[in-house]
A = this chain, B = another copy of it.
Amino acid sequence: MLIIGELINSTRKQIRKAVEEKDAAFIQDLARRQAAAGANWVDVNAGAFASDEVEKLRWMIATVREASDAPLSIDSPRPAAIEAGLELAGADAFLNSITAENDRYRTLVPLLLKYKARVVALSLDDTGMTEDMDKVYAVADGLIKRLEDDGVPPDHIFVDPLIRPVSTSGEYGIGALRIVERITTHHAAVHKICGLSNISYGLPKRKLVNQVFVAMAIAMGLDSAIIDPLDPRMMASILAAEALAGKDQFCMSYITAEREGKLEGMA
């Protein structure tokens, strides 16, 4: 499982405050702890700072870099911030995210190629969100083909089925799971990722819902996720699900985690 640690995100109050106060120690501690907990990439998002996002993002990246060598995921709605971020991020960065919206796609693909970045490919086009899950799959399918045609290696493409709250429609859970499964079937070389915390929006005990959803998605072929790696039960659920999905030979990663005390208190 490839993991993007999601915690350094300015839309979270604590992070916004730390960035405004230039509290480098707070940000650096989060970067270190996420990497130590198993994050393969550390996400950095300054999107809450509309007018000076680029400046804030540069400070955040430089701050994280002083503390950790973990590769970064540059997370922004604004192409200018993504460009500035990728320039600073160094090797093996993630572009989070591209969509099939024409303007966004055309602006970001050259950056993707220039920096040889991996990319979260969100299933969304210019017609906007839809309830029709077949349409969501078709958009993902088209986006994969377009990225491949433009020279992005399949194993750099991480398709996200655009997770929406299951509290608003019962179809959003199973529908997203089926999209993950269809991509596994039809595009074996690309990765599947979920920015999954949206799934539980509006429900009580959101962590439980997120943990259960990630296990279900792993059954369908999910092989990466944007999560809170400091949630021990989330990490334990992923380890157990990977063993059950036949992706952990002799359950060695699961058993090792238990020996290291990482499954403490898990009943």
Instruction: Report which A residues bind B (CB closer than 8 A).
Output: 166-167, 170-171, 173-175, 177, 199, 203-209, 211-213, 215-220, 231, 233, 236-237, 240-241, 243-251, 254-255, 258, 263, 266-267
Report if A177-B219 is in contact (Cβ < 8 Å); known contacts: A166-B243, A204-B263, A246-B170: yes
Copies per complex of this chain: 2
Closest to A267 in B: B207
B255, A203: Cβ atoms under 8 Å?
yes
Expressed in whole angstroms, the minimum distance between the Cβ of A205 and any Cβ of chain B is 5
Question: Which of chain B's residues have a CB closer than 8 A to the CB of A212?
Answer: 215, 237, 240-241, 244
Closest to A243 in B: B166
A208, B263: Cβ atoms under 8 Å?
yes
Report if A208-B236 is in contact (Cβ < 8 Å); known contacts: A244-B166, A244-B199: yes
**Assuming A203-B251, A219-B220, what are 7 further A-B pairs, CB within 8 angstroms?**
A167-B250, A170-B251, A174-B244, A199-B244, A203-B243, A208-B240, A211-B267
Report if A173-B203 is in contact (Cβ < 8 Å); known contacts: A208-B236, A220-B219: no
Closest to A237 in B: B212
Q: How far is the CA of A263 from the CA of B171 in the complex (A)?
A: 23
Residue in contact with A174 in the complex, picked from B245, B250, B258, CB distance below 8 Å: B245
Question: Which of chain B's residues have a CB closer than 8 A to the CB of A267?
Answer: 205-208, 211, 231, 233
